[in-house]
């Protein structure tokens, strides 16, 4: 393996199996375990690899309702509203966006009553001017990561 592509190949291997051992990665990429260990440490230090976590199927745990929540925020209140959103554990993604809304958040809830309660709590935030909520009918793809192109 050419060292110029090692980090990319290493990332791709970890995307395929985040629990792969250093030894199996070294064998797959035809380098030493020390080289793999050093490259992983460098990728972590550089913020390229931010962590290792399981893929949780929230539907199997009873979180059957996924919703997107679009928010219009009063000027100067964006940071406060985003911090408030971060405090809601069931809000899984928060995006600042262009267009008709300022923020789009995605949340997972056990049922529509729980979703309704969370949304009402968000609307009580003094910085929220307007909201629009969409309930997801079918999740086609979620948390998709993609392999990197090798030069």
Q: If you classify domain 58-135 with CATH, what class do you get?
A: alpha beta
CA atoms within 13 A on the CB side of 40: 22
Residue 135 has pLDDT above 50, yes or no: yes
Q: If you classify domain 3-45 with CATH, what class do you get?
A: mainly alpha
For residue 1, the model assigns a pLDDT of 47
CA neighbor of 137 nearest in space, from 63, 67, 53, 49 = 67
Q: Tell me the domain boundaries of the chain.
A: 3-45, 58-135
pLDDT band at 100 (very low <50, low <70, confident <90, very high): very high
* DSSP 3-state of 1: coil
For residue 85, the model assigns a pLDDT of 92
- Per DSSP, 41 falls in state H
- Phi/psi of residue 19, each to 5°? -100, 10
Tokens linked to 45: 């230090």
Global pTM reads 0.81
Average pLDDT over every residue of 5-28: 94
Residue with the bigger pLDDT between 125 and 22: it is: 22
Residues 6+ apart with CB under 8 A from 125: 80, 81, 84
Kind of pairing between the strands at 103-109 and 65-73? antiparallel
The reply to whether domains 3-45 and 58-135 share a CATH topology is no
CA neighbor of 70 nearest in space, from 104, 35, 102, 119 = 104
Average pLDDT over every residue of 37-58: 93
Residue 37 has pLDDT above 70, yes or no: yes
Q: Mind listing the pLDDT tens digit for each residue in 55-88?
A: 889 999 999 999 999 999 998 999 999 999 999 8
């Amino acid at each position: 393996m050419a060292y110029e592509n090692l980090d990319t190949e290493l990332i791709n291997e970890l995307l395929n199996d985040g629990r792969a051992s250093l030894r199996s990665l070294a064998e797959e990429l035809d380098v030493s375990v020390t080289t793999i260990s050093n490259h992983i440490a460098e990728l972590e230090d550089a913020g390229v690899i931010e962590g290792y976590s399981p893929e949780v199927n929230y539907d199997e745990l009873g979180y059957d309702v996924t919703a997107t929540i679009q928010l219009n925020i009063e000027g100067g209140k964006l940071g406060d509203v985003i911090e408030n959103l971060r405090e809601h554990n069931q809000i899984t993604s928060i995006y600042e966006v262009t267009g008709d809304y300022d923020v789009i958040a995605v949340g997972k809830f056990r049922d529509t009553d729980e979703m309704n309660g969370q949304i009402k709590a968000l609307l009580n935030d003094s910085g929220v001017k307007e909201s629009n909520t969409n309930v997801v009918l079918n999740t086609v793809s979620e948390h998709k990561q993609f392999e990197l192109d090798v030069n």
